[in-house]
Amino acid sequence: MSAKPSVVALIPARAGSKRIADKNIAPLNGHPLIAYTICAARQSGVFDAIVVSTDSERYASIARHYGADVPGLRPAEMSGDTSPDIEWVRHTLQLLAERGQRYDAFSLLRPTSPCRKPATIQRAWTQFLEEAGVDSLRAVEKCEQHPGKMWIVRGRRMHPLMPMGPKEVPYHSTQYAALPEVYVQNASLEIARTRVVLEQGSIAGEVLTPFLTEGDEGFDVNRPRDWRLLELALERGEATLPVIDRPPFFG
């Protein structure tokens, strides 16, 4: 029987978010947002290492307090609003390799999905191991706004994003229940073979398996409105957070 592949959790936490100031460390129920992702990763028991990629010394201190490793700060040129994930992922894997830490797989766990639980990660890792021949796994959920109802606007004319379906009743004129199921990715979780980064320059590769999140697992916090909705859901018991097993960070 072959040994299980080694895997590292990679948690991106650049400073300088604009829609919510310092979003990744904004306080939620007495702890910075990133704490929930770090603690869920640790408590899952899945990872050989848990690493935060950040361009901020303060963020690094917070990450270490909650049990993550920060092998070095992310360069500024990889920390902009439009910097692609492949850059910081490759950079982090190279930093780790220079320390003699090489992994067969990695998982991206974004702090903006604080309701992802240790059991969520365990379920995803089990699925990834059971799927032969896949390059990666990505969290998805059934989309609420179907792309069959979406349009591309060009000047004074518009064209369907998905020009499919029977000519008599195209998708944009079809009842939602009759449209094919379509899934949208959420930010909660990705797992991939390290080779797709090193050999293909990709964080996903070519063969992907879907991981269907359940309930609040895929709740993503990016805008002030999202934050208010999360607080309301927590207050009503419609969402829950991972348990934090460290005292609050004060620094």
Q: Domain holding 128: CATH number? A: 3.90.550.10
Q: Does 116 lie in the same domain as 33?
A: yes
Sequence-ordered strand ranges (E) for 110-163: 136-142, 151-154, 157-160
Q: Does 126 lie in the same domain as 11?
A: yes
Q: Does 103 lie in the same domain as 175?
A: no
Over the chain, what is the mean pLDDT? Answer: 93
Place of tokens 């419609």: 238
Beta bridge partners of 108: 10, 190
Angle at CA of residue 187, ends 181 and 189, nearest 5°: 95
In this structure, how many other beta carbons lie within 10 angstroms of the beta carbon of residue 105? 22
- Asked whether residue 88 is assigned to any structural domain, the reply reads yes
Domain total in the chain: 2
pLDDT at 196: 96
Helix and strand counts by DSSP (H, E) for the chain: 6, 10
pLDDT at 185: 95
Predicted confidence (pLDDT) at residue 165 exceeds the cutoff of 90: no
Q: What is d(CA 223, CA 160) in angstroms, rounded to the nearest whole number?
A: 28
166-210 pLDDT tens trace? 777 888 888 888 898 999 999 999 999 999 999 999 999 999 999
- Asked whether residue 247 is assigned to any structural domain, the reply reads no
- Asked whether residue 2 is assigned to any structural domain, the reply reads no
pLDDT at 77: 80
Q: What is d(CA 83, CA 158) in angstroms, rounded to the nearest whole number?
A: 31
Q: Does 170 lie in the same domain as 84?
A: no
Give 1's pLDDT tier (boundaries 50, 70, 90): very low
Predicted confidence (pLDDT) at residue 32 exceeds the cutoff of 70: yes
Give 120's pLDDT tier (boundaries 50, 70, 90): very high
pLDDT at 2: 58
131-150 pLDDT tens trace? 999 999 999 999 989 999 99
Q: Does 87 lie in the same domain as 38?
A: yes
Q: Does 187 lie in the same domain as 177?
A: no
Question: Inter-axis angle of helices 33-44 and 57-65, to 10 degrees?
Answer: 40
Q: 89: closest CA among 184, 173, 194?
A: 194
pTM score, two decimals? 0.92
Task: Show the DSSP H helices in 45-98 as ranges.
Answer: 57-65, 85-98
Structural Rg of the chain based on CA atoms: 20
pLDDT at 113: 97
- Choose between 246 and 79: higher pLDDT: 246
Q: What is d(CA 158, CA 154) in angstroms, rounded to the nearest whole number?
A: 6
Q: Does 57 lie in the same domain as 148?
A: no
204-231 pLDDT tens trace? 999 999 999 999 999 999 999 999 999 9
Element (H, E) at 51: strand 49-53
Cβ-based neighbours of 185, under 8 Å, separated by 6 or more: 138, 139, 140
Domain that holds residue 23: 7-142+182-236
- Asked whether residue 150 is assigned to any structural domain, the reply reads yes
- Asked whether residue 192 is assigned to any structural domain, the reply reads yes
Predicted confidence (pLDDT) at residue 246 exceeds the cutoff of 90: yes
Q: What is the mean pLDDT of residues 32-45?
A: 98
Concatenating the DSSP letter of every residue in 184-211 gives EEEEEEEEEEHHHHHHHS-SS-S-EEEE
Q: Does 94 lie in the same domain as 25?
A: yes
